[in-house]
Amino acid sequence: MKKRQVSTRLVLEDGSEYSGWSFGKARSQAGEVVFTTGMAGYPQSLTDPSFRGQILVSTYPLVGNYGVPVNPKTVEPFFDEQGIPLHFESSRVQVSAFVVAEACEEPSHFACGASLSVWLEKNNVPGIYGIDTRALTERLRESGVMMGKILVEGSREVTMDSGLFPHPVADVSPEEIRTYRPAGVDAGERLPRIALVDCGAKANIYRCLLARKVEIIRIPWNHDLSGIEYDGLFLSNGPGDPKACGRTIALVRRAFSLGKPIFGICLGNQIMALAAGGDTYKLPYGHRGQNQPCIEIGTGTSPRCYITSQNHGYAVRRESLPKTWEPWFVNANDGTIEGIRSTQGPFSAVQFHPEGCPGPRDTEFLIDRFLEDIVY
């Protein structure tokens, strides 16, 4: 018997409304409404901590056609021997809600353990389908991202501000220090030791580093490096305004004086810029998707353009960079800064995701460059 359709509305803070039907958990929910241009990879996007507290709109019309790679009996994710999710970017769905034009009810894929709707319901996350996501995306591009709420018929009413997270990084960052070592490596073997400041790191960052035979010391966002021996510092992605991460900024500022290699991605790029004395600002609608073109500049050769995976709503203000820092990558669409580097030390960062999950991994070589700078 086909499940009864439940009327659902998406209401934006400017008063505009979009009517559709409920899928996932039938509950009302508020959050900042943003859109992604990715054509696939929704299991990874929905579990990306950088989306914490946001209502995600998919511009691709059909979503859910290959289901979700979970345990079909429990609808729980699979993990490797170190507790890292195998197919997701964290162990839970991070978005507040999901907005699609059409949600596939009968997925088909060899790894499918549950439908998208069943998985969202298991994680208590609502969705709405049957709306014109093209018109919604156009409004968000013209007016900028804004708060919104999904109202499900028969569900408790919510307010716009109920979807605000006072400090989303604190909500997704781990609370304890932990060490990870690659599988199959002798316990006594000395490996390059990377201190990873986890502000909501995607699981594929861990996978990429461990595949390169390094030891990872995971550090919470608000911890310091006192007493921690490391060969290189890695600044992860994460949600929200980088200026809310004052303790992380202070940590990086102190780390500059040690002269050890530092590499940042996404939020880590913004934090590094702030630690260097630069400034950041909020973009009108951000860069979210797996098809963002970025041009590498200042290499002395012909500029190269890479297709990158991105998820961020803030950017580095170009004119704020100190004289000892320079732009490294720029966005080919709008000219915003997509990477910075120091001219006086082994410090660099990019706004996109070299580990690209989901999305292209054309720039994964940047992780290798970072590791090549490490002396241990």
Catalytic residue IDs: 266, 353, 355
Backbone angles phi, psi at 340, to 5 degrees: -135, 160
Backbone angles phi, psi at 116, to 5 degrees: -60, -40
Instruction: List strand residue ranges (DSSP E) for the chain, in order.
Output: 7-12, 17-24, 29-36, 54-58, 62-63, 97-99, 102-103, 126-129, 146-152, 178-180, 193-198, 215-220, 232-235, 262-265, 280-296, 304-316, 325-331, 337-342, 347-350
Six token digits for residue 348: 């660099």
- The Cα 44–Cα 68 span in angstroms is 10
Six token digits for residue 315: 């950017």
DSSP for 65-111, written as a single string = TT-B-S-TTT-PPPB-TTS-BSSSSSSS---SEEE-SEE-SS---TT
- The Cα 284–Cα 144 span in angstroms is 5
- The Cα 297–Cα 294 span in angstroms is 10
Bridge pairing between strands 280-296 and 325-331: antiparallel
Query: Is there a cis peptide before residue 322, judged by omega within 30 degrees of 0?
Result: no
DSSP classification of residue 359: S
- The Cα 101–Cα 134 span in angstroms is 9
Q: What's the half-sphere exposure (Cβ side, CA atoms, 13 Å) at 337?
A: 31
Chain position carrying tokens 């299991």: 43
Sequence-ordered list of residues with C-beta below 8 angstroms from that of 92, at least 6 positions apart, any chain: 47, 123
Angle at 211 between CA 210 and CA 216, to 5 degrees: 10
- The Cα 273–Cα 212 span in angstroms is 27
